[in-house]
Structures are given as structure tokens and as C-alpha cells.
Amino acid sequence: MNDADLGDNIDERIGQLEQSKNPRSSEKRFANDVAHLDPSRWWFASSAFPMIAGTLGPVASAFSICALVRPWRQHYPPGTDITTAAFEPDPKWSDPRLIQTLIIVNAIQLAIAIISNVFLLLNMARRVRFSLAQPITIVGWYMSAICLIALNATAAGPLVIEPAEEYIFSQAFYYGMFAAILYFLTASLMVVTVYGAATSHYAKDFQLTTAQRTLMLQTILFLCYLLVGALVFSTIESWSYLDAVYWAQVTLFTVGFGDFAAASPLGRALLIPYALVGVISLGLVIGSIRSLVLERGRRRLDARMVEKKRRQLIRTMTRKGKDEILKPIHPDTNDTSASAASSPSLPGTELARREEEFNLMRKIQHQASTRRRWMAMSVSFSSWLVLWLVGAKVFQECERPYQNWSYFEGFYFAFVTLTTIGYGDRTPVSNSGKAFFVFWSLLALPTMTVMISNAGDTVVKAVRDATLELGNITILPGERGFRKDLMSVLHRLTCGFLFQPTDEDSDEDSDGEDDALPPGFLSNAHRIRREENDDDDNDEESDETEAYSTVLDRETSRAPPPFSPEPKDSQARPSPRDRQTTTTNNNTTTTRRRRPFSRVRDPTSALPASRADYHFLLISEIAAVRRHAKEKPARRYTFAEWAWYLKLIGEDESSSATHRKARPHIHSKKKAKKAAKKRRRNGVVDEENAEHTEAECPDEDKWSWVGSQSPLMGSQEECEWILEKLTEKLRDELDVVRGEELERKSTVDRERDLADERKGRDEVDELLRS
């Protein structure tokens, strides 16, 4: 019987499972994400520009507040002290009946800018649609920029007070100028972002993570903390509010010039919690900027540079006729023997060729990563140098009328500030100098932080490696010996001219696990510690396998266990990990077997014949890869490990059925169809696929380690990719098992219904006969 139409639901589910078994030709099985195929400029437009706008937009609004709180002019007769200059009220408009003044216009643009910031924040929080928030944000920022530009131009032109030499612009005027620049810049960046979304280069949404979306909120909170603190201390210490803003900036950035300092007991008491919380908050914001720029940008730019390097290398190899290593070896042809005879260095099997291809891809990744690190270092250093030199010139011009600074004094002051030394022997006293210092330091500190981080990956690493190499040939000889260490140093110093490394040396140098180990006895200690950690990982994996237990009947336990082959050496003593523990309890026997999966990762090893063992193996490897995903830096797998994991998800590296020769560039489907049609019309046959067409594998599923569909391409980490594929494989396997169970249950229900029907007919026949 079928309760509640259960049989119909089961049949429908079985039909869905049968459809799911069909190959999905539209999906690429082994491709990573497409981050490496998109030009870097669209990553900047979709991710970097919104982050910059979300950071600088609130800064512009903070400067607008500073431009609003005080008049824009001060009376400064020659020979007087600038710190005592009186503020001159803003002039009225020419029509005396109108009450609007410069302060009213300034307040209106500030309100518009705050609304724009709120919509941008809500858009980043996914509370407002992209198509609604961005026009409001862009138009609002442009309107604020135009208003401030008009106000600054009017104040500097038609509304100049005579005699002009006795009046100067206050800090508020310069804050308004800097706010106008930032509003115009951020609005222009968002225009580029909207253009990229409108032209379908990415979705109409910010391509940001949760941490990146909160960066704008962190910036707003820090700026509010700075401005409110300046208000409190200006009241306590009887400072001008904008001088208090300058003091708060100097304090929270830990420069500490000393030209402004809390003198009252209350101010000094409040300084301790204010500075403590402020420095920590600033550190969190700078840390977020650093991590987001370095981590997110590193993976994206690495992927793009690897793609460019890959295309360049394939073109070079094809042009020079050295692309034999990229062609799959098919066992049903004589190409293998001919290629081996012409070039003995070529591998003879497809598995060996794929390993060579994999190693070639690793070299491409290493070269691209090195180039990316030095490019990032050069860009960050150039930005820091520009801020230093240009800032020195601006400070010189600002302070020349008041302190007669030379360029060297501005140069010296900028350096002392950038390095947060802050002697205090040179400090700005002009209104323009103080306002520019606040604006300049907000840009300089993140730039300095990013530059130091990039230096740690390049310059510091080079110095460290040079020190270790020097130790190798002096007091800390490594495992390779003094002679090989000296040859390696001379090879690097001569740019590869002397002492070409042998294959063994290359293998040792290319071992990714020992890249970060120091030489000599220190490396032995680190290596022993790493081996102990690997043993701990193996113990964890083995502990997981202990949970695998099979409850058998006493009669069944007498038979040899399925899928537990005898070791080759029957006399060998089994290790404690391989022993089987049998516990008898009443009529059952529990057999616990521990299988060393950490030593099973061999691409030539056979997969379990039992479905249950295969599922358990998938679960064990998923647990192992999840532990790998927690490692810092991200783990890079060897070819044997990759081949093993690919074998688990249905890809055999020793078979050329799913392999192809790498192409320099992936064209669109329309261009590919036109090119194929042109080749057929000209009688040209694709040597790559014409001779060997496997019906079981579509062309889009064929891939190469150095191709654009390689798992090593893209911005996704290797452990993330493997974990995703293993999880999909396990889900598909369990889905099949579930379908079989449902099918079996449906069959049992049908048989039960037929039996009930026959029984009913028999009862009716008996009643009729009686």
C-alpha cells in the first residue's frame, strides 16, 4: 500500500535522480573561478574603488563639519601672533532681506553629503538596492563638491576683505577645500564602479566580503570618536575647536609633537582613556585596511599575473617548438615512441608528463608571485615617497610666511612625522599647515603600514635569506654541505652564469615545505618539529578511523574481512596503528580497524571496492583537508596529493581521456565557432582533438595543468577547491545511495501491494466457491 501517495513521490524522486546522473556538459568539472580571466581594472572597479570611497567619503564629511564650525577668515595684522588672530564673521549676501550666509550653504551641502554616505553604507550593508543607492550617492557627492568649490572660489574672490594683507583664511577654509577634493574623487570612483556594473563586467552589487563592508562603519566610528574628543578637550583646555582636532590627530597617531598638551588635571585624567581607546581603534582600522588590501588584493592580482605569465610561456614554447610536454600521451598511437626517440628527456607515460606539466605550473606561480610582491613593494614605496616629498613641499610653502621654512626643514618634518618620531622641534603653526597635516596624515599612515607589510615580503625576506646563505657557508652549514651551499650562493650572485644546479639540487630547492626553514642545525630542529606535527596530524586522522567499526555476526566474523588485503610480508610485525582489536560481547564481535590514510595518498593506489569504505575515505579526507585550510600560509599540495584527490573525485591523472594541450588564451564561444568553421572550410584539422575523440568526455571537460581551466588558476586557495570538490562528490554519492534506497523501498511496496491484491482475489474466489 502507498500511504499519502508515497509511491508517486518515490517514483518522482527516482526520476529526478536518473536525470541528475546525466553528465552536466554545461559545467566545467575541474575549473577554478574566473578571477584570472578578468582584467585587473574591473577588480579595482568592483572591489577597490568602493572600499576607497567608503573610507574617504566619511573623511570628507568630517572635513565638512570642520569647515562649518568656524568662520573662514581671521584678522591677522602684520607683526602679531597668529595664535591670537580673531575670527571675522562671514559676510552677508548682497540682498539684506536674505538671511542665507556662507554657513547656510555649507550646512546644506553637509546634509546632502551625509545622506549620500548613509545610502552608500546601507548599500554596502545590502539594505538598499545598488541601482537606487548609487545615483543618490554619486549625485549627492558631486553636489557637495560643487557647493564647496563655489564657496571657496567666492571666499577667495568676490568676498575678499580689504585690506587683504590683514586677513587670512582660517583652518575651516582649508578643510572645506580638502572636503571638495575628496567628494569629487570618491564620486568619480563610484561612477567607474557603476559603469562596470552597467556594462555587465560584474553584478550590480559591491563585490565585497563582510569584513570589507564593515570598513566604512569602522571609519565612521573612528572619525566620530576623534571629533567628539576634540570637542571635549577644546572645552576643557580652552582651545579653538580646530586646534583641538589637530591635537587629537597628533595624539591618536602617536606622533606627540608637544605643541599642544593637556595642562589641566581633568584634561590629563581624560587623556589616558581617550588615547588608549583611540589608539586601539585606529590600529583596528589600519589593520583592516592592511589586511583587506594585502590579502584580497594579493589573491586577485596573483591570479591575474599567473594567467599573463602562463599565456606568455605557452606562446614562447609554441614559437620555439618546445611544446611537446604540453601534448597528452595517448596509448593507442605511436606518437609516444617517436617523441621519446626525438627527445629522450620527454616523459614516457601520461602520469609522468602530467607531473612535469604540474611542476611547470608551479614555476609559473612562483615567478608571478615574486613579480607581484616586488611590484606591490615598488607601488607602495613610490606612494610613500610621493607623500613624503610632495608633503614636504606643501609644508614648506605653508610655513614659509610664518617660520621661513626651507625645503629641507619640510623634508625633515615630514620624515619625523611619517615615522612617528615626533621630536616637536619643527611643528606647523599656520592654519593651512595644520589643516593639511590632518589631511596628509590620514593618507600617510595607511600607506606607511602597507609599505612596511610589503617590505616584509620582499626586502626583509631578501636580507633574511642573504643572512642565512652567509651562515650556510660560514658557521651554520646546512644539510647539503659547504660545497653545494657555496655553489648555490655563487650561482645566485652571478645571476645563473656559474654552477648550473643539477636536477637533485633543483628538486631540493623547489621543495615548498622547506622554503621557510633556516639552514644548518636550526633547520634540523624545525624539520623534526614539523615531522612531529605531521605525526600528530596522522594520529588525528587515525583517531578518526577508529570510529569506523563493523558489527558482525559471530559466523560472519570467521570469514576473512572484505577489503582488508593481507600485507605482502606476512612475517612482518604489524605496527600498533595497523592492529585490529576484537572485542567479544554476547553474540556480536566489534572489529575496529585503523587504516593509515595519510600514507594512502598515492595516485597509483586503488580506491576501495566497498561503497561504505569509499564513503568513509571521502569523509576522512574531507576532515584532513579542513585541517589544512586552517594552516597559515595556505597549504600547497604536491603532485602526488593532487593526483590522489583528483582520483577520489573521478579524475585519473594517468589517463589522457580528459587531458588536452594548453592554449594561450580562451576565446568566446562565438569566436571559437567561427575559428572552427574556418578551419573545416580550409581543410585544417585540429591536431589536438581530431585524432583522439573520447565520447565519454566532452571537449569542455578536458583540461591541462597549465591551461586556463586548471585548478591551480583563479583566486581560490587549493585546499578550498579540493574541499569543495570532495564535498560535492560525497553529496552525489550519498544522493545515489538515497535514490537506491527509495527505489528499493518502492519495489518492496509494489510487491506488497501485488501480494495484498492476490490475497484479496484468493479470498474472493474462496467466498465465491463456498
- Specify the DSSP class assigned to residue 226: H
CA atoms within 13 A on the CB side of 473: 13
765: left (phi over 0), alpha (psi -120 to 50) or beta: alpha
Structure pTM?
A: 0.73
3-class DSSP state of 626: helix
In a domain, 58, yes or no: yes
If asked whether residues 7 and 95 sit together in one domain, one would say no
CA terminus-to-terminus distance, the chain: 28
What's the domain count of the chain? 2
If asked whether residues 614 and 728 sit together in one domain, one would say yes
- Considering 153, 187, 207, which residue would you say is the last residue of a domain? 207
In a domain, 637, yes or no: yes
- Considering 207, 235, 267, which residue would you say is the last residue of a domain? 207
> pLDDT at residue 257 above 60?
yes
If asked whether residues 76 and 6 sit together in one domain, one would say no
> pLDDT at residue 689 above 60?
no
Nearest Cα to Cα of residue 185 among 138, 230, 116, 148: 138
3-class DSSP state of 354: helix
If asked whether residues 10 and 63 sit together in one domain, one would say no
In a domain, 605, yes or no: yes
CA atoms within 13 A on the CB side of 371: 15
Q: 273-326, pLDDT tens digit by residue? A: 999 999 999 988 888 877 776 666 677 777 778 888 888 888 888 888 887 888
If asked whether residues 10 and 120 sit together in one domain, one would say no
If asked whether residues 121 and 189 sit together in one domain, one would say yes
Q: 42-75, pLDDT tens digit by residue? A: 777 888 888 889 899 999 999 999 998 888 888 8
pLDDT band at 754 (very low <50, low <70, confident <90, very high): confident
Give strand pairing partners of 591.
Answer: 550, 582
- Considering 154, 179, 207, which residue would you say is the last residue of a domain? 207
Ordered DSSP codes for 449-463? HHHHHHHHHTHHHHH
> pLDDT at residue 445 above 60?
yes
If asked whether residues 70 and 179 sit together in one domain, one would say yes
Nearest Cα to Cα of residue 520 among 474, 571, 568: 474
What is the distance between the alpha carbons of residues 659 and 24, in angstroms, rounded to a whole number? 18
Q: What is the residue range of 144's domain?
A: 33-207
In a domain, 21, yes or no: no
Instruction: Answer whether the bond into residue 71 is a cis peptide, omega within 30°.
Output: no
Q: 150-179, pLDDT tens digit by residue? A: 988 888 877 777 777 788 899 999 999 999
Question: Using N-to-C axis directions, what is the helix angle for 407-418 and 350-403, rounded to 10°?
Answer: 130
Nearest Cα to Cα of residue 526 among 479, 489, 475: 479
If asked whether residues 3 and 96 sit together in one domain, one would say no
In a domain, 467, yes or no: no
If asked whether residues 96 and 9 sit together in one domain, one would say no
CATH number of the domain within which 148 lies: 1.20.140.150
If asked whether residues 114 and 151 sit together in one domain, one would say yes
Higher pLDDT, 238 or 492: 238
If asked whether residues 81 and 118 sit together in one domain, one would say yes
3-class DSSP state of 195: helix
In a domain, 97, yes or no: yes
What is the distance between the alpha carbons of residues 444 and 386, in angstroms, rounded to a whole number? 10
Which contiguous run of DSSP H or E holds residue 262? none
3-class DSSP state of 531: helix
Centroid of chain to Cα 350: 34
In a domain, 723, yes or no: yes
Nearest Cα to Cα of residue 637 among 600, 596, 601, 597: 601
In a domain, 700, yes or no: no
If asked whether residues 69 and 133 sit together in one domain, one would say yes
Residue with cell 572636503: 179
Which contiguous run of DSSP H or E holds residue 526? helix 520-546
Instruction: Answer whether the bond into residue 633 is a cis peptide, omega within 30°.
Output: yes
The 10 Å Cβ neighbour count of residue 5 is: 10
Ordered DSSP codes for 59-83? HHHHHHHHHHHS-SEEE--TTS-GG
What is the distance between the alpha carbons of residues 642 and 619, in angstroms, rounded to a whole number? 17
